[in-house]
């Protein structure tokens, strides 16, 4: 699956973890832990890469002391990583990532 092993998204003590393998992948977040059909993972990855295309590695607004913090980490089979981090600042299309994550969670919960 494009060499992706794991995706971890964290925001404000909530997390979404997608462990990817050739047979069935697994999704975990604060509410669920389930196996997931890889067709959902393929669609997710396609959308994810479109969303993060052009993102910087860091988005930090130092003027806000107690704002939200978030992290997106993509680990590949060869051990390399792509990581994105933010504190009180976001890429312009960040809400698309949050909608994508929620859509995946809803699909898994609703079958």
Task: Kindly give the confidence (pLDDT) of every residue in the chain, 111 residues in length, as a single tens digit, with 9 standing for 90 and above.
Answer: 569 999 999 998 899 999 998 778 999 988 789 998 888 899 999 999 999 999 999 999 999 888 899 999 999 999 999 999 999 999 999 999 999 999 998 888 876
Give the pLDDT confidence score for residue 111 in this predicted structure: 65
pTM of the model: 0.91
Rg over alpha carbons for the chain, rounded to the nearest Å, is 14
Q: Which long-range contacts (CB under 8 A, 24 or more apart) does 56-60 make?
A: 56/84, 56/91, 57/83, 57/84, 57/85, 58/84, 58/85, 58/86, 59/84, 59/85, 59/86, 59/87, 59/89, 59/90, 59/91, 60/85, 60/86, 60/87, 60/88, 60/89
Give the pLDDT confidence score for residue 51 in this predicted structure: 98
């Amino acid at each position: 699956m494009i060499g992706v092993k794991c995706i971890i998204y964290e925001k404000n003590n909530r997390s979404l973890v997608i462990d990817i393998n050739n047979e069935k992948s697994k999704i975990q977040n604060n509410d669920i832990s389930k196996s997931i059909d890889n067709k959902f993972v393929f669609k997710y990855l396609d959308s994810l890469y479109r969303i993060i295309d052009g993102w910087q590695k860091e988005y930090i607004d130092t003027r806000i002391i107690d704002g939200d913090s978030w992290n997106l980490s993509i680990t590949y089979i060869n051990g390399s990583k792509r990581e994105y981090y933010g504190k009180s600042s976001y890429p312009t299309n960040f809400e698309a990532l949050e909608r994508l994550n929620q859509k995946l969670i809803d699909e898994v919960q609703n079958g």
